[in-house]
Amino acid sequence: MIRTRIAPSPTGLLHIGTARTALFNYLYAKSQGGQFILRIEDTDQARSTQEFEQNIVTGLEWLGLHPDEGITTSGSKGDFGPYRQSERTELYRPYLEQLIVSGAAYWDTTPLEEIAQQKEQAQQAKRPFVYRPECREQQNEYRDGAVLRFKVQDEVIWFEDKIKGKIEFDMSLMGDFTLSKGWDNPLYNFVVVIDDELMKITHIIRGEDHISNTPKQIVINRALEFSRKTFAHLPLILAPDRSKMSKRHGAVSIDQYRQEGYLPEALVNYFALLGWNEGNDREEYSLEELIQKFTLKRVQKSGAVFNIDKLQSVNASYIKALPLEQKITSGVQFLSQNRYNIQHLAQDQLERAIDLECQRIKTFGDIGEGIDFLFKDPVYDSNILLWKDMSISDVKENLEWVRQVVYNIEEKTSKEIEQTVKAEIQQDNRKPGCVLWPLRVALSGKERSPSPFEILTILDKPTALNRIDTALKLLSER
């Protein structure tokens, strides 16, 4: 059974990099009929919080990446828990003891300052610094303030990365690294090996910033005689300057995208294509389709710049493709969130407005700006009522004329209204633009908006006539 995991630290909001790594773990597990586990790595008690954990767990589920095991919004589940490292401390001690007994690890009380000094000396002498203290060969016991170090052997450690291929490390260049601070503070590289073994993880899929941790974990894993793990290191998501994505580059938390009105399906689709493709031109995939098609072999080797324009374009097409009910649900939610007075509109009018606006927006966060005139009378500069080189009297004459047309309209759909109005225009020998531009501006108060016919299907007739009167009044005051 293939088992993969995502093991975030709750030291911040769910990061897009973490989400993407989770997605690839999820896709690989599911494509192989395996399981996907969510473990919380909160050994760093000082920086970890409940809130961040909650944010990560809900964020992943919002994306549709439901773990088979581990921490979920409805609590912990699975047979290999606990799934929070902070609740696993007593599990680690026997393995620490085992490493000491087998001679693979030793206690070191060398003060930190002394090591730093040695390091500096080596650097000044332009020699690589490899920490191998004399006490590594002594049979020693725990003393206050001691750290447990792994006794690194001179050898070449290599592994076959499923994405990058063979990667080798000359361990004679690596110093003895720390496994645990005293008995009670086991550190990342040690803990992760124990947890992955105990949770029966088979494939470790993570960001390539972990490549240099891999040889450490391999030697620990081997010293403990654990089963071999398969590694796959994902290319990183990069900021536009090609450096690692961080807060200074703008929105990096899934939460932010959620609040701005991105769809989880769009995010998933975009992230999947950021570093993976099927080998053809296809770009649209549901989560289910990704599971069908995903292979580690087709994951890109190099980092990918996160491009917000592309994400927006993907999101826009997902919004357009949404079933009407979902457009309405999300539309209503974001309109109220953005404090638009949607009560002013009858339900069916509101629904038409949202459906209409979904053609134009890139994110649901944008909804409202373009149709605020539906919720309140617009305030605008009367100059924009003038189309091209029309005179004020010309505009007034056309508006007065079209007021009568609007007054007589009985049709309900935009298409029917359009037909009727255009027929009238033709019959009266008018230029469409001279009528329709001022009408549209009078109704919307905007230079850019949906068509007047669309607007007329949403505004009730008294409001529409009222706005035309307002426009006429504005023109008279000039």
Partner RNA sequence: GGCCUCAUCGUCUAGUCAGGUCUAGGACGCCAGGUUUUCAUCCUGGUAACAGGGGUUCGAAUCCCCUUGAGGCUACCA
Residues between 285 and 304 with contacts to RNA, criterion CB under 7 A: 298, 300-304
CA distance 130 to 429: 90
CA contacts within 13 A on the Cβ side of 205: 30
Going by DSSP bridges, is the β-strand pair 304-305/237-238 parallel, antiparallel, or unpaired?
parallel
> 140: closest CA among 148, 131, 132?
148
Per 3-state DSSP, the chain is made up of helix, strand and coil in percentages (nearest 5) of 50, 15, 35
Q: Please report whether residue 281 would count as binding RNA according to CB under 7 A.
A: yes
State the residue for tokens 């580690």: 296
Q: How far is the CB of 347 from RNA (least distance, A)?
A: 24
Interface with RNA by CB under 7 A: which range of 92-100, 105-113, 389-397, 405-413?
Answer: 105-113
Q: Please report whether residue 274 would count as binding RNA according to CB under 7 A.
A: yes
Q: How far is the CB of 219 from RNA (least distance, A)?
A: 14
Q: How far is the CB of 321 from RNA (least distance, A)?
A: 10
Q: Which of 13, 23, 100, 147 binds RNA (CB under 7 A)?
A: 147
Three-state DSSP state, 207? strand
Q: Which of 2, 91, 211, 291 binds RNA (CB under 7 A)?
A: 211
Q: Which of 221, 390, 452, 472 binds RNA (CB under 7 A)?
A: 452
Q: How far is the CB of 79 from RNA (least distance, A)?
A: 22
Q: How far is the CB of 343 from RNA (least distance, A)?
A: 26
CA distance 100 to 461: 85
Q: Which is nearer to RNA, 34 or 88 (CB)?
A: 88
Q: Which is nearer to RNA, 219 or 304 (CB)?
A: 304
Interface with RNA by CB under 7 A: which range of 63-71, 249-257, 273-281, 346-354?
Answer: 273-281
Q: Please report whether residue 19 would count as binding RNA according to CB under 7 A.
A: no
Q: Please report whether residue 112 would count as binding RNA according to CB under 7 A.
A: yes
Q: Please report whether residue 420 would count as binding RNA according to CB under 7 A.
A: no
- Which pair of tokens denotes residue 119? 């390091």
Interface with RNA by CB under 7 A: which range of 204-212, 258-266, 347-355, 468-476?
Answer: 204-212
User: Phi, psi (5° rounding) for residue 38?
Assistant: -110, 115
State the residue for tokens 């189309």: 387
CA distance 310 to 41: 33
Q: 329-388: which residues touch RNA (CB under 7 A)?
A: 359-360, 387
Q: Which of 117, 138, 292, 307 binds RNA (CB under 7 A)?
A: 307
CA distance 39 to 71: 7
Q: Please report whether residue 273 would count as binding RNA according to CB under 7 A.
A: yes
State the residue for tokens 């993907």: 314
CA distance 251 to 264: 15
Q: 421-430: long-range contacts at Cβ-Cβ below 8 A with a sequence spacing of 24 or more?
A: 421/452, 421/453, 428/401, 430/398, 430/401
Helices (H) and strands (E) in the chain, counts: 17, 14
Residue 247 known to be catalytic: yes
Which position among 30, 162, 164, 247 bears the catalytic label?
247
Q: Which is nearer to RNA, 34 or 398 (CB)?
A: 398
Q: Are 432 and 401 in contact (CB under 8 A)?
A: no
Q: 63-82: which residues touch RNA (CB under 7 A)?
A: none
Q: Please report whether residue 436 would count as binding RNA according to CB under 7 A.
A: yes
Q: 383-412: which residues touch RNA (CB under 7 A)?
A: 387
Q: Please report whether residue 22 would count as binding RNA according to CB under 7 A.
A: no
CA distance 42 to 4: 19
Q: Please report whether residue 99 would count as binding RNA according to CB under 7 A.
A: no
> 22: closest CA among 72, 60, 74, 50?
60
Q: 212-271: which residues touch RNA (CB under 7 A)?
A: 212-213, 235-236, 238, 241-244
Interface with RNA: number of residues (CB under 7 A): 84
Q: Please report whether residue 140 would count as binding RNA according to CB under 7 A.
A: no
Q: Please report whether residue 310 would count as binding RNA according to CB under 7 A.
A: yes
Q: 114-133: which residues touch RNA (CB under 7 A)?
A: 115, 119, 126, 128-129
Three-state DSSP state, 12? coil
Residues acting as catalytic residues: 247
